[in-house]
Chain A
Amino acid sequence: MSKQEWPLYEVFIRSRSGLAHRHAGSVHAADDQMALDHARDTYTRRKEGVSIWVVRSDRIVASDPAETASFFEPAEDKIYRHPTFYEIPDEVENL
């Protein structure tokens, strides 16, 4: 019997209301609804979440590791983009 692998889905879980969804891992599933069930059964068994997103892994467009230099390094020497030159008054909290 031939064994065909089900497509891979990436799973994102929001652990509490107000927080953002975070990548939790991946599951195999034959369709979208099954992916949601599998994500629920695999990643929220201990009450880890209040919301789940799943998306086919091959639908995610990712940056190429080989292009890290041109993608990210130009930002390194542009320190003027970081808001580090302001004096923050002592009274301001949570900044």
Chain B
Amino acid sequence: MKEMEGQYALELIMKGKRIDERNFEDFREIKIEKNIISKAEGSARVKMGETEVIAGVKLNTGEPFSDTPEEGVLIVNTEFTPLASPDFESGPPGEDAVELARIVDRGIRESKCIEVGKLCIVPEEKVWMVFVDIHIINDQGNLLDAAALAAIVALLNTKIPKIKDEEIVRGEYEKDLPVVFKPINIVVGKVGNNFLVDPNFEEEKILDAKLSVSVRDDEKICALQKQGKNEVSMEDLEKMVDIAMKKSKEIRKLVK
């Protein structure tokens, strides 16, 4: 059954069409909600069509790494909850979950969008640790772009709690988390000689290859990862980067 759905998507793409009647460079409808979880210091829900992802940010204090004694710590984790797909199982994260979390992590970390130098409380002793936990709620394809988008929206809306007598006062806030860039992740899929963005679940099955590109506000590329089974020519990689850079501008307008 699964293969049949993919096969139909493939036949349509070869005719220049998509299973949900989008153009190749169209995203599904994107809905973003902010501050959906009151217990979290920052949070967001992103829906891309039926795909749904929640990101929650929690701040704790902790010891800095010895090589960066005056910088806060960023940790990005992704949970493929079994409720999101019959293909996900509970237990330790599989390689797909680990890869996704690490790509989202690199997009945020390498873009230097969080000013980690401003997250120091006591040098060498105490800094803010920023935990971004991404929960996949429904997998209808392109989890990566949805997860990265949820993460950056949640971070942009994160507030740093007050500290009183060396204890965190939950629910009372001192200031906003210092976020200076909005990196946007765009996955570009390749099927034959066609390139498309925001592949849905059926399309993901039949893509020859994908390129995940994270782009910063100043049009600099801050992370890349080739995915999928097939090899890609250098010219095609260049085309895919161009599409991603163009689409990133459009998606960034949704991020506040």
Whether chain B is bound by chain A comes out as no
- Which B residues fall within an 8 A CB radius of A? none
- Which A residues fall within an 8 A CB radius of B? none
